[in-house]
């Protein structure tokens, strides 16, 4: 079945870049997503990438997709304290339309 | 648009009681999802609907859980009887086919069963 894996924790210094990695198993995944969850809140969509793309950039966010290795990453440039949150990677097949989430990576920022 | 609206935001109930969680999806969306989030199991898909019809309920933990979608603007998730291990945050989400098939989440219903 489908599976999405992420490391549980990441700590970076304020101002540095954060790179959060994700691997998935379903080669038929059509859409891949990054969501952000702040404490006590729901999941907020950050960005998504279609499977025929290698890269997508949106302001401080860069998403890289290696479809051969089934590896997705999210880079946050100039990480700020407001970026502290849990980041979820997710995949979706176009046909089944259900979205499978990873366990989430908790990003903490140190001064 | 107001986004996905869930109620109640917080509920504390005693073991054995019935719990009903409610969701209003974004207007015009044709998919609705119920997820459960716990520290131990992360974010689990319980059930999802397409055009008010349940498509996949394989994630529903057991018969104590049921979900309905009587119309395009309302869904319920019911737990009867509730147990302490049902304590979790329950998220409702909705999406529309196309435009990245993005799903939008509500703020969640925080359930504590004592």
**Digit-coded pLDDT (tens) for A50-103:** 888 899 999 999 999 999 999 999 999 999 999 999 999 998 876 557 788 999
- Give yes or no for a contact between A14 and A111, defined as CB atoms under 8 angstroms apart: yes
Q: Which strands, in side-by-side order, build the sheet including A4-6? A: A4-6, A18-24, A71-76, A61-66, A55-58
Does the pLDDT at position A22 exceed 80? yes
pLDDT band at A2; cut points 50, 70, 90: low
Picking from B101, B102, B106, the nearest residue to A42 by CB comes out as B106
pLDDT of residue A1: 58
pLDDT of residue B13: 97
pLDDT of residue B47: 95
Does the pLDDT at position A14 exceed 80? yes
CA of A94 vs chain B CAs: smallest distance (Å): 8
Q: Is B96 exposed, middle or buried (0-12, 13-18, 19+ CB in 10 A)?
A: middle
The residue in chain A having the minimum alpha-carbon distance to the alpha carbon of residue B54 is A98
Q: Which of B24, B51, B102 best tests the A interface by mutation, with the highest count of A CBs <10 A? A: B102
Q: Do B91 and A42 touch (CB under 8 A)?
A: yes
CA of B90 vs chain A CAs: smallest distance (Å): 10
- Give yes or no for a contact between A33 and A99, defined as CB atoms under 8 angstroms apart: yes
pLDDT of residue B96: 85
Residue-wise burial string across A6-15, b where 16 or more C-beta atoms lie within 10 A, e elsewhere: beeebebeee
The Cα–Cα gap between A22 and A7 comes to 8
Q: Which of B44, B101, B108 best tests the A interface by mutation, with the highest count of A CBs <10 A? A: B101
DSSP 3-state of B96: coil
The per-residue DSSP string of A42-82 comes to -EEEEEEEETT-SEEEETTEEEEEETTTTEEEEEESS--GG
Structure tokens at A26: 């379903």
Per-residue pLDDT of chain B (114 residues), as tens digits, is 679 999 999 999 999 999 999 999 999 999 999 999 998 888 999 999 999 999 999 999 889 999 999 999 999 999 999 999 999 999 999 988 765 678 899 999 999 999
Tell which phi-psi region holds residue B9, choosing left (phi > 0), alpha (psi between -120 and 50) or beta. alpha
CA of A101 vs chain B CAs: smallest distance (Å): 7
The Cα–Cα gap between B56 and B60 comes to 9
The Cα–Cα gap between B28 and B72 comes to 8
CA of B25 vs chain A CAs: smallest distance (Å): 14
Structure tokens at B37: 């989030």
Q: Do A99 and B33 touch (CB under 8 A)?
A: yes
Q: Do A43 and B105 touch (CB under 8 A)?
A: yes
pLDDT band at A27; cut points 50, 70, 90: confident
């Amino acid at each position: 079945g489908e599976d999405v894996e992420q490391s549980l924790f990441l700590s970076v210094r304020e101002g540095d870049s954060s790179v959060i990695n994700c691997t998935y198993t379903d080669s038929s995944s059509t859409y891949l997503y990054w969501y952000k969850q702040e404490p006590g809140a729901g999941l907020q969509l950050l960005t998504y990438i279609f499977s025929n793309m290698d890269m997508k950039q949106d302001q401080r966010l860069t998403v890289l997709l290696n479809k051969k290795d089934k590896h997705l990453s999210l880079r946050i440039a100039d990480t700020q304290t407001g970026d502290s949150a849990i980041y979820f990677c997710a995949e979706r097949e176009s046909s089944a339309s259900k979205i499978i989430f990873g366990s989430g990576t908790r990003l903490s920022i140190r001064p | 648009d107001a986004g996905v609206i869930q109620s109640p935001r917080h509920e504390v109930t005693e073991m054995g009681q019935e719990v009903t969680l409610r969701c209003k999806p974004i207007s015009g969306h044709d998919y609705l999802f119920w997820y459960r989030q716990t520290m131990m199991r992360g974010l689990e898909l319980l059930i999802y609907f397409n055009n008010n019809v349940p498509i996949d309920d394989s994630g529903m933990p057991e018969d104590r859980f049921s979900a309905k979608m009587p119309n395009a603007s309302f869904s319920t998730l019911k737990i009867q009887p509730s147990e302490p291990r049902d304590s979790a945050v329950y998220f409702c989400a909705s999406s529309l086919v196309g435009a990245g098939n993005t799903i939008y989440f509500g703020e969640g219903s925080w359930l504590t069963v004592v």
